[in-house]
A and B are shown apart, each in its own frame.
Chain A
Amino acid sequence: MTIFNQNDPKRLTEDGVREDLQRQPHIFMKLAENALTVAESLRDNYFKNTASFVAALRRAIHAAGQGQRTEAILETANIPRLDWEMLRDEVVTFIDGGVGNVQISSQIPILLRVGSYMVRTGERNLAEREHFGYYPVILGDLEGGSKERSDFIDIVRITAELLGGLSALQRTPDLRVLMFHGPLVYLMSGYAGHTPFTEKDIDLFLDQYAPDRELGQNLKDEFLEQAKLDIYPQMTDRSDEWSERRIFEPLSWIAFLYRKLIQEAKIRNPRPVIVGVVERGKLREFSEKKLLERVFRGLRQKGNEDYFNKMYGRTDLKSPKNLLDRLGYTDTLLLAMILEPGQMSETWDISKYAGLREGNISLPGEAGTSRVNYAPLKSSQIGFPDIQGCYLHVSETTEPIRIEVFKELGGNQITEAAGRTYLYSRMLPGYGFPIGLDIADKYAHVPNWLTNAYGKLIKHQLGVSLQSGEISDAQMRRILIQAIYMTHRDWLFRPNN
């Protein structure tokens, strides 16, 4: 399949890299874009310099592979080759959230929906084989969360997706793979400071998630108990009040759900693979902390610290961070040029929680703010779990994708996840992304029904009313939600018979 030949000496030259780039227009475009944004002095020879930089990286990796170099700068491996035959009778669930907008002058998100697609491979009875689920949340209904913030919708989506995943795991005793669209855990510090959800909000979420009320109630109670005993006291000096009001501080609640997920997975045998798959990621942590760190170390070792400054005719390219800042490289961009299709990078511990520190928060219905400390959530006891990840290069025409797993679930997670992600993605070679997530995405996508079929006024009214929670009549609300989904996608919601 691959056009790269490991042993082709040309690969290791600047010309070889250029030739490869010409066959990968998406990378070429990225570089062209970068060339326009970097400093003028770097612009002229951007392509040439990138090519010679990449060639140097390839040579170093090659040398390590040949034993000519003691310290590897990047360990690559072939992605484990699985075939469908081997994976027969596996239950796999894909989770993806989508946002419904109303097009007025600006986009008002109306509701959020998480879609799930569960499939049992090898099963020929369609009713047994596939199950679709959806979990809509009308944003206007929520009392908590800081609606004025543009990332309000994200914390709602993260929560809903997580509940969708937890629900899938709990409902499916033989679930083998749980795959999320996007990072398994987001860079949480960005979401700090949102007004806590009320219990009523959580009930709205749980309404969709829990097969029965009791389970939902248990989940709430369990969190509130932990929050009261261990979490809130470490975060705020108003913890008594928080517990009394039964409020759900979003980050600690989300962290709790992650822990639940892991806890549930741990008691299963075999352990389900839980993985998040990220496309078009902007992360450069791997390049900065691993790849370039080793390169710089090697240069220092050889007394060659000025290598990059000479190459680019500058004086400020002294650290991986500087280099990446100035040249605009990201993990996927560099790895697209280094990893061959079918290869994966080494696994590393991704730092997700560095920014969790003190901040301000205002409680529901409260005008002022008070101090809150998010740092305790770095602890995997009461906070977020550790995450490991790696990059997979699926096909020549696509950028590498990143997969993330829970470190706590064991070393097998990443290999098992990589093999499956690769196999699932081979079904969409032009996209290079697991087709099951694509299916869940199409399913979760909230259509623009409102934009084409009805007048602007109605759209506006409907949007505003839903947004502001004005429509409280349950019947009416159901009709509206149904109306929003009344498109050619109706079939998705037809009952399984």
Chain B
Amino acid sequence: MSSTANVDKNSKYVGTIIGESTSREFRLAVAHETIREQDIIAVDAELRHPDGNQPPEQIRVWAKVQRIERLNPLFPSEAGHELAETRTDPFDTILSLSREMVTAVCQVLGAEPIDGKSGGKLDHLRYPPQPATRAYRPDSSDIARVVLGDLQEKQKRALDIATLSNRPEVDVLVDGHSIVTRHLAILAMTGAGKSVTARRIIEQLAKKNYPIVIFDPHGDYTGLSEVDGLKTRVKRYYAQFPIFEEDSETIAEIVNTLGYQLTDTMRSRFSDLFRAATSFIVDDPKEMKERTEWLAKAIGRPEIADYGVNPNMWLVANLAEAGELALRNDNGDENKAKLVELGWPGFDKYTKTDGRTLEGIKKRTYRAASALSRMEKTNQIVAKSAEPLPVDRKELVKYGQISIIALAGYTGDFQATIYSLIADTIFEARVTGELRLPTLLLLEEAHNFAPARAMTPAEHRAISTTKQIAQEGRKFGVGLILVSQRPSRLDETTLSQANSFIIMRMVNPADQNFVRKVIETLGEDEARILPDLDVGEAILSGQLINFPVLVKIKKSESEGEREEKDAFEELEKAYKDLRNNQS
């Protein structure tokens, strides 16, 4: 600290320490309107060494304004009632309105040598600052230094994602390393700016070539591929539901929900049918062609021979139909034998009655297949991609690549299942060492993938996958970014494994309480301001930052799919297009 710094400390004066001061908290008497909640301020102090031989150490104590109390002690509430009763303007009376007490309650963040030579790393304060000391507003560069803390020396880890909310000139860099290794949760209500924040972080991580896999239920991340420099590195996939990776029980369940209810008899035959369908697909292309042609003929659908069969629900339905026909037709013996040969267990013992059962299964499975196709179609449209998921899902993880898996179009259980399959594979591959690169998984709508209370088997599976990655991911280089607008519906164990948090506007009290309970680093006063945050404002808390701060997230370069447009303007535009086309 030079002497000029002392001079302008006067103009930066914000208040004087009053009352009882502790090494954790102190109170400032401040002038009206000179300070805001979450402001970062400093107080200079002198620490004597207990042995008394060395010269006293000059330190700067950093603190954050947690809350501001404003009181007019000369205005009793009784008088207020009288004013209300008589509708009197207080200025017309003899009431005193000028003597407000404004007190800022400040939380001590830590201390550093006054010359700032420790590089922004703050030590614990072990002795309270002196009452009557003046507090001041530090220089931007000093604030930037302490907000950065250790990161100073580890610039490579730093992600440029925000500015201080109350000091826009101060950039806030966060620790990317702890985000990718120790999980980050971005929690806020809808529209608060979670997706923008997540995209901003992804864009920053992409600069460091970190492999990222995004599970995107709404198409919030497709915009990433339109950003210069990312175009070639973003891969968007649409998701097919890989039914043959599931057991027959699960698939029967899907038919139940997407088609109609299967009867018990149907259920008992369904597993045989599913086995047949599973073994239908073989690697040998010649054999495959033969099988396909046979199937097309057996059920009288020549188009199958043209398009080929795929490992999907249609195949199951086709085989059910083939089975039904073979049992019903009087000359179906040949096809019967073929089906046994193809691996349909016990088909030779099937009777005419089973033919009716298979008919029922067929109808339901076709219906389910068509519902599933519809989801897939929607999914493909939202994904804006014709690229299906790679067969080897480890391919999703590549140096410098951002893989976006579109989940839009699918209902919750399908999304959860698709997610589980992919995340399991990747995690597995990291555990076995098959996958050499570390990776970061981003879960948008994370409460669907890590729900506090799993209701369906698909959810059970998803939560166990997520929980495992949350708990062990750090060891195996798999990180998580959990994004959710319903934090209170998130699994607590999973969330508590996150070491970094970005909390944005949140009005639901249940969510506020939950967040407050789970996040140790979030103070009561910070929790209190959550409902008042603006769009894009956030409290950063945890390992990504030196101490919790209120920031404004910088806007991402990429746009979201669902940027708000004026509904009526859109209508007029569409109508104009329509008329132009007609004329």
Q: Are B94 and A428 in contact, CB atoms less than 8 angstroms apart?
A: no
Query: In residues 450-497 of chain A, which contact B (Cβ within 8 Å)?
Result: 486, 488, 490-492, 494, 496
Contacts of A488 in B (CB 8 A): 18-19, 101, 103
A244 at the interface (CB under 8 A from B): no
Task: Report chain A residues within 8 Å CB of B95.
Answer: 119, 427, 435, 439
Our pick among B82, B89, B101 for the contact of A427 (Cβ within 8 Å) is: B82
Residue A430 is within 8 A (CB to CB) of chain B in the complex: yes
B337 at interface by CB-CB < 8 Å:
no
Asked if A126 and B94 sit within 8 Å, CB to CB, the answer is no
**A491 to chain B: which residues have CB within 8 Å?**
29, 99-102
**Per-residue CB proximity of A406-446 to B under 8 Å, as 1/0?**
00000000000000000010111111000110110011000
B92 CB–A CB distance under 8 Å: yes
- Chain B residues numbered 62-116 whose CB sits less than 8 Å from any CB in chain A: 73-74, 76, 78-79, 82-83, 88-89, 91-103
Contact count A vs B, C-beta below 8 Å: 78
Q: Is A88 an interface residue (CB 8 A)?
A: yes
CB-CB under 8 A from B510, the residues of chain A are: none
Residue A242, interface by CB 8 Å: no
Q: Tell me, yes or no, whether A132 is within 8 Å of chain B by CB.
A: yes
Q: Mark A130-174, 1 if CB is under 8 A from B, else 0.
A: 101000000000000000000000000000000000000000000
Report yes or no: A126 in contact with B92, Cβ–Cβ below 8 A: no
**Residue contact A442 to B73, C-beta cutoff 8 Å:** yes
A496 to B31, CA, bound (A): 11
Assembled-state Cα–Cα distance A491/B71 (Å):
11
- B93 in contact with A121 (CB, 8 Å): yes
Indicate if B282 sits at the interface (CB-CB under 8 A): no
Flag if B94 contacts A424 (CB, 8 Å): yes
- CB contacts under 8 Å to B, within A59-97, are 84-85, 87-88, 92, 94
A122 an interface residue at 8 Å Cβ cutoff? yes
Q: Which of B31, B74, B94 contacts A92 (CB 8 A)?
A: B94
Query: Which residues does chain B contribute within 8 Å of A424, judged by CB atoms?
Result: 94
Other-chain residue from A85, A121, A428, A490 in contact with B78 (beta carbon distance below 8 A):
A428
Chain A nearest CB from B398 CB (Å) reads 63
User: Is there contact, CB below 8 Å, between A121 and B94?
Assistant: yes
Given known contacts A426-B82, A427-B82, A439 and B74 CB-to-CB distance under 8 angstroms:
yes
B94 close to A85 (CB less than 8 A): no
| Contact call B96/A428, Cβ cutoff below 8 A | no
Kindly state the separation between the CA atoms of A429 and B86 in the bound complex, as whole angstroms. Answer: 13
- Nearest Cβ on chain B to A118's Cβ, whole angstroms: 10
Known A-B contacts A129-B97, A130-B97, A491-B29; A428 and B76 likewise in contact (beta carbons under 8 Å): yes
Would you call A117 and B92 a contact (CB within 8 A)? no
Q: B132 near A: Cβ within 8 Å?
A: yes
Which residues from chain B contact A428 at a C-beta distance below 8 Å?
76, 78-79, 82
Please name the residue on chain A nearest to B93 by beta carbon: A84
* With A132-B99, A488-B101, A491-B29 as contacts: A122 and B92 at CB distance below 8 Å: yes
Cβ contacts under 8 Å, B88 to chain A: 84
Instruction: Check A222 for interface membership: any CB of B closer than 8 A.
Output: no
Of the residues A124, A126, A427, A430, contact of B93 by C-beta under 8 Å: A427
- Return B564 CB to nearest CB of chain A, in Å: 41
Q: Counting CB contacts under 8 A, is A123 at the interface?
A: yes
Asked if A121 and B92 make an inter-chain contact with CB atoms under 8 angstroms apart, the answer reads yes
> A427 CA to B19 CA in the complex, in Å?
32
Give the interface SS of chain A, mostly helix, strand, loop or mixed. Answer: mixed
Query: Which residue of chain B has its CB nearest to the CB of A89?
Result: B92
In the complex, the chain A residue whose C-beta lies closest to that of B79 is A427
Q: Type the 1/0 row for A296-308, where 1 means its CB is closer than 8 Å to any CB of B.
A: 0000000000000
Q: B residues within 8 A CB of A438?
A: 76
Distance, CA A496 to CA B32, complexed state (A): 12
Interface size class of A (residues with CB under 8 A): 35 or more
A119 lies within 8 A of B82 (CB):
no
Shortest Cβ gap from B305 to chain A (Å): 90
Whether B96 pairs with A439 at a CB distance below 8 angstroms is yes
Tell me the complex Cα distance, A438–B94, Å: 11
Residues of A within 8 A of B93 (CB): 84, 121, 427
Number of interface residues, chain B, beta carbon within 8 A: 28
Chain A residues with CB below 8 A from B16, complex form? 490
Q: Which residue of B lies closest to A126 (CB)?
A: B98
Whether A429 touches B29, Cβ cut-off 8 Å, given contacts A130-B98, A488-B101, is no
A84 to B98, CA, bound (A): 19
| B94→A123 contact, CB < 8 A | no
Closest residue on chain A to residue B81 by CB atoms: A429
Cα–Cα, bound, A494→B88 (Å): 29
A130 to chain B, nearest CB (A): 4
Q: Which of A92, A121, A490 contacts B18 (CB 8 A)?
A: A490
CA distance A272 to B102 in the complex (A): 35
Chain A 166-209: CB-based contact to B (< 8 A → 1; otherwise 0): 00000000000000000000000000000000000000000000
In whole angstroms, what is the CA distance A362 to B88 when docked? Answer: 56
Contact A84 B76 (CB under 8 A): no
Q: How far is the CB of A438 from chain B (nearest CB, A)?
A: 8
Chain B residues within an 8 Å CB radius of A490: 16, 18, 29
Question: In the assembled complex, which residues on chain B have CB atoms less than 8 Å from the CB atom of A494?
Answer: 31
A429 to B31, CA, bound (A): 32
Q: Is the CB of A84 within 8 A of B92?
A: yes
**Which residues of B486-516 are within 8 A (CB) of A?**
none
Q: Which residue of B lies closest to A490 (CB)?
A: B29
Whether A129 touches B98, Cβ cut-off 8 Å, given contacts A84-B93, A122-B91, A428-B79, is yes
Closest-by-CB residue of B relative to A131 is B98
Contact B98 A435 (CB under 8 A): no
Q: Are A129 and B91 in contact (CB under 8 A)?
A: yes
Q: A439-B74, A488-B18, A491-B101 are known contacts. Are A117 and B79 too (CB-CB below 8 A)?
A: no
Q: What residues of A have a CB within 8 angstroms of the CB of B19 in the complex?
A: 488
Per-position contact with B for A331-374: 1 when CB-CB < 8 Å, else 0?
00000000000000000000000000000000000000000000
Expressed in whole angstroms, the minimum distance between the Cβ of B393 and any Cβ of chain A is: 65
Which residues A269-317 have CB closer than 8 A to chain B? Answer: none
Shortest Cβ gap from B268 to chain A (Å): 81
Residue among A119, A132, A492 making CB contact with B94, cutoff 8 Å: A119
Distance from A345 Cβ to chain B, minimum over Cβ atoms (Å): 24
Looking at the assembled complex, report how far the CB atom of B70 sits from the nearest CB atom of chain A, in whole angstroms: 11
Is the beta-carbon distance between B92 and A85 smaller than 8 angstroms? yes
B94, A436: Cβ atoms closer than 8 Å:
yes
Q: How far is the CA of A123 from the CA of B93 in the complex (A)?
A: 9
Binary interface encoding of chain B residues 367-397 relative to chain A, with 1 for a CB under 8 A from any of its CBs, else 0: 0000000000000000000000000000000
Report yes or no: A119 in contact with B96, Cβ–Cβ below 8 A.
Answer: yes
The minimal Cβ–Cβ distance linking A469 to chain B, given in whole angstroms, is: 26
Which residues of B lie under 8 Å from residue A92 when comparing CB positions?
A: 94
Instruction: Give the complex CA separation of A439 and B75 in angstroms.
Output: 8
> Least Cβ distance of A448 to chain B in Å?
14
Tell me the bound Cα distance from A488 to B101 in angstroms.
Answer: 8
A444 CB, nearest partner CB in chain B, Å: 12
Q: Report chain B residues within 8 Å CB of A88.
A: 92
The answer to whether B97 and A435 have CB atoms under 8 Å apart is no
Q: A426 vs B76: C-alpha distance in the bound complex, in angstroms? A: 12
Whether the Cβ atoms of A130 and B96 lie closer than 8 Å is yes
The 28 sampled A-B contact pairs (Cβ below 8 Å) are: A84-B88, A84-B92, A85-B92, A87-B92, A88-B92, A119-B95, A121-B92, A121-B93, A122-B92, A123-B91, A126-B98, A129-B91, A129-B97, A130-B98, A424-B94, A426-B82, A427-B93, A427-B94, A428-B76, A435-B94, A439-B95, A439-B96, A488-B18, A488-B19, A491-B29, A491-B99, A494-B31, A496-B98
Closest CB pairs A-B (n = 5): A84-B92, A126-B98, A130-B98, A427-B79, A436-B94
B residues contacting A by CB (< 8 A) are 16, 18-19, 29, 31, 73-74, 76, 78-79, 82-83, 88-89, 91-103, 132
A interface residues (Cβ-Cβ under 8 A, vs B) = 84-85, 87-88, 92, 94, 117, 119, 121-124, 126-127, 129-130, 132, 424, 426-431, 435-436, 438-439, 442-443, 486, 488, 490-492, 494, 496
Given contacts A127-B98, A130-B97, 12 further A-B contacts (CB under 8 A): A84-B88, A119-B95, A121-B91, A122-B92, A427-B78, A427-B82, A428-B82, A435-B76, A436-B94, A438-B76, A439-B74, A491-B29
